């Protein structure tokens, strides 16, 4: 067996230790005589898995007591509807458009209320972030939505906007699907954060929502019950059957994060990995990353070959070198290296070594 370095944008690389532990526990979890996927979600075994996962996540991300952690389903895209169903009260919402994912959120929210654009970097090809001081936020705004890390365009907020300092006391909603647990979160600036698990937390199927308590309990009457934050919160995420196996694996990832120094240590590793790759891209005459330096993503690094006729050769050589899933998203083309928490530094080193060799053969 040989495991490759996997640069997929999601579902994505998992910590090997987690996969090994899951394999070892597959048939009989802790002497229970059952696999986790065979357990009742209401039995004491699964409840202990669930409670440990929630407690570990709360500790890792330093989630304050007045926030609830919800384990839901439907992915980031379902939250594009579930958030307005719960928070808009049919009123107006303001969106900051910084790439494909915030565009999608904005479009979907329009089905449930008035979805406005507070700012957009589209004219820059989504290579910059609009300065918060320029955002147009209505006095009647129910919330402001941003995508913390644009997985396709490779643009990341390195600091969350301080809406209060901008004079508007409305909740900030953050789609943190693709950089959750890669860096600390300043919860004093956040009303709600959501994300699918399959980028940085575990397998697809689990969606994480972390929401300030006062924002719960305002769902529109036609909000599906299983998506009403109040029902989900009141039932400890077990209003209906939660994605039990995905929660278990995410729980193992949380323990792996704790063993490896927690989020602060992860952030330092992520900074080092991203810097290695961006420094190489900037020094190269073959490859280019177009994102403004102050908002380059540490998680998703899109890049282009200046000679695009070499794309297929680049990908074939990468695959032969055990460097997988580097093809860029179809909407933007080029390449993309996703270097989430579970991607070791050695993976980025191997990628840079391959890219350097490939560049030499192009001379
Ligand atoms: C992947 C992703 C989504 C969509 O997640 P699904 O689980 O496919 O619904 C939403 N937002 C961001 C930022 C993403 O990276």
Q: Tell me: the pLDDT tens digits for 93-125?
A: 999 999 999 999 999 999 999 999 999 999 999
Q: What is the pTM of this model?
A: 0.98
Q: Tell me: the pLDDT tens digits for 190-240?
A: 999 999 999 999 999 999 999 999 999 999 999 999 999 999 999 999 999
Q: Tell me: the pLDDT tens digits for 36-62?
A: 999 999 999 999 999 999 999 999 999
Within a 10 A sphere around the Cβ of 27, how many other Cβ atoms?
10
261-361 belongs to which CATH class?
A: alpha beta
Q: Tell me: the pLDDT tens digits for 267-302?
A: 999 999 999 999 999 999 999 999 999 999 999 999
Residue with CA at minimum distance from ligand 1 atom 12? 177
Residue with CA at minimum distance from ligand 1 atom 4? 76
Question: Please, where in the chain does CATH 3.90.1150.10 lie?
Answer: 261-361
> For the structural domain made of 17-259, what CATH number should be given?
3.40.640.10
Nearest ligand 1 atom, CA 148: 13
Give yes or no for a contact between 250 and 53, defined as CB atoms under 8 angstroms apart.
yes
Nearest ligand 1 atom, CA 10: 1
In this structure, the residues whose C-beta lies within 6 A of any atom of ligand 1 are 10, 75-77, 101, 147, 151, 175, 177-178, 196, 199
Q: Tell me: the pLDDT tens digits for 239-250?
A: 999 999 999 999
pLDDT at 2: 84
DSSP secondary structure string, 298-340?
Answer: SSEEEEEESSGGGHHHHHHHHHHTTEE--BPPTTT-SEEEE--
Angle, CA of 258, 236 and 213, to the nearest 5°: 85
Is the pLDDT score of 27 beyond 80? yes
Question: Please, where in the chain does CATH 3.40.640.10 lie?
Answer: 17-259
Inter-CA distances, 312 with 141, 328, 334, 335, Å: 47, 12, 10, 10
How much distance in Å is there from the Cα of 34 to the middle of ligand 1?
A: 32
The catalytic residues are 101, 175, 199
pLDDT at 363: 66
Residue with CA at minimum distance from ligand 1 atom 5? 76
Pocket probe for ligand 1: among 74, 150, 196, the residue whose CB has the most ligand atoms within 8 Å is 196
pLDDT at 150: 98
Euclidean distance between CA atoms 172 and 312, whole angstroms: 41
Give yes or no for a contact between 303 and 283, defined as CB atoms under 8 angstroms apart.
no
């Amino acid at each position: 067996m040989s495991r490759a370095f996997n640069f997929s944008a999601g579902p994505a690389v998992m910590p090997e230790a987690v996969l090994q532990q899951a394999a070892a526990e597959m048939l009989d979890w802790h002497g229970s005589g059952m696999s986790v996927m065979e357990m009742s979600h209401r039995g004491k075994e699964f409840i202990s898995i669930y409670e440990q996962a929630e407690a570990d996540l709360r500790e890792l991300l330093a989630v304050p007591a007045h926030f609830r952690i919800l384990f839901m389903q439907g992915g980031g895209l379902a939250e594009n509807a579930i958030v307005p169903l719960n928070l808009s009260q049919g009123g107006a919402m303001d969106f900051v458009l910084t790439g494909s994912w915030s565009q999608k959120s904005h479009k979907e929210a329009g089905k449930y209320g008035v979805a406005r654009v507070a700012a957009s970097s589209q004219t820059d090809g989504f290579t910059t972030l609009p300065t918060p001081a320029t955002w147009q936020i209505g006095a009647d705004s129910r919330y402001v939505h941003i995508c913390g890390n644009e997985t396709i365009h490779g643009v990341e907020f390195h600091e969350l906007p301080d809406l209060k300092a901008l004079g508007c006391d409305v909740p900030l909603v953050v789609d943190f699907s693709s950089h959750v647990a890669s860096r600390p979160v300043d919860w004093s600036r956040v009303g709600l954060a959501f994300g699918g698990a399959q980028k940085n937390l575990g397998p697809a199927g689990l969606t994480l929502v972390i929401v300030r308590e006062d924002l719960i309990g305002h769902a529109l009457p036609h909000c599906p019950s299983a998506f009403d934050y109040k029902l989900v919160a009141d039932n400890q995420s077990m209003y209906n059957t939660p994605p039990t196996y995905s929660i278990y694996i995410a729980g193992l990832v949380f323990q792996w994060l704790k063993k490896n120094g927690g989020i602060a240590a992860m952030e330092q590793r992520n900074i080092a990995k991203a810097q290695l790759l961006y420094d190489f891209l900037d020094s190269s005459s073959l490859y280019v990353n177009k994102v403004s330096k102050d908002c380059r993503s540490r998680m998703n690094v899109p890049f282009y070959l200046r000679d695009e006729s070499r794309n297929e050769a680049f990908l074939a050589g990468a695959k032969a070198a055990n460097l997988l899933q580097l093809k860029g998203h179809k909407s933007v083309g080029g390449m993309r290296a996703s270097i989430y928490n579970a991607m070791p530094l050695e993976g980025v080193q191997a990628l840079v070594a391959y890219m350097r060799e490939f560049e030499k053969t192009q001379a």
